[in-house]
Amino acid sequence: MMKKFKLKLVVLSTLSCLVSGQAMADWENLPATGVSVGSDTSPYILCNPTGNFGSGSGADAPVQPTSTSDTCALIPTNDLYAPDSNFTGADRFPKVSNTVDIVMNNTYTNNTDVTVGILRDYVWRRSTGGSTYECIYGMKVTMNSNDYNLTASGTQNFEINDMARSGWSGKTIDIAYSTVPSNASPTYRAGRTFTAVQHRDEAGFVAQPITGLGSSPAINGVNAAPGTAPTAAQQKADIDTDWVDFTTDVNYKDDDGSTNPASGMQYIRTSCSGTNPSPVSGAIRLRQTYQENSGDGVTPNPFIEVEVEGYQ
């Protein structure tokens, strides 16, 4: 009887591992050469383009992922654990982690420091045999209610529409995201590019920007009032293999009325060394690309990039 009981435990344990592996299986390769979009090439792949990239509300609001059938989506029970069933034992936990303030200092803050949120940065690592290793880099932001624009009346909360991270030249990489907690903003697309491309729920804004811009601005789009269509060039982004840009929609209190103060965890998986990394200044860039107006229906939210230290 005891042997049968032990066998049952082994079977249940094995099934549990299989289910866990399936629940964390949907990694997507992000090619260094981009992907085909018709006869063109885009550095971006689509992950969760529901809800007009965060502009929609009510019945048209973004749909949260519920399983790995949703592209790029992982469903971990806790975002402290490595989102890959090959990371077992002590490797399930981060080798290094860092929490840093997101501090803005520019003309909008009257050149003073204003903390608009925090960024959590994790690195998980496992041995793949001999002197080779695989790492997962994860970053997540949580915004606060602080007013960043001290030159205007009222409260303007900083909105993060794109999270970019450097350090991937010469690397084969896979990307994914999770939404823990459950009200975290989904990730709409991810691109092997330095350039964040503005997206609005209006004509002329595209889901997968194509290459051919000929330059690499931090933000590309039309910084004008609603109803102003972008030019074709303002919807392009060129490939930059050192950077990965995740498009999301995070704000303590969004102009469209939604509240998603936390992003999902943005994951990048690749080969790495066995040495713990140290944070590098400016390795992570957080961008506001003016997805909606500033609240009065006329004034555009400004394009803003904030640099934050991160692991490479």
**Class of residue 157 by CB neighbours under 10 A (exposed 0-12, middle 13-18, buried 19+):** buried
For the chain, which residues make up each domain, given as ranges?
Answer: 2-311
Give tens-digit pLDDT for 131-167: 999 999 999 999 999 999 999 888 899 999 999 999 9
What is d(CA 207, CA 235) in angstroms, rounded to the nearest whole number? 9
Give tens-digit pLDDT for 49-108: 877 787 776 767 777 777 777 899 998 888 899 999 999 999 999 999 999 999 999 999
The residues that bridge with 115 in the sheet, in sequence order, are 103
**Class of residue 251 by CB neighbours under 10 A (exposed 0-12, middle 13-18, buried 19+):** buried
Token pair belonging to 3: 């042997």
User: How many Cα atoms within 13 Å fall on the side-chain side of residue 118?
Assistant: 5
Q: What angle do CA 282, 283, 284 make, to 5 degrees?
A: 90
**Best CA proximity match to 242, nearest among 179, 171, 299, 149:** 171
Give tens-digit pLDDT for 10-26: 333 333 333 333 345 58
**SS3 (DSSP) at 7:** helix
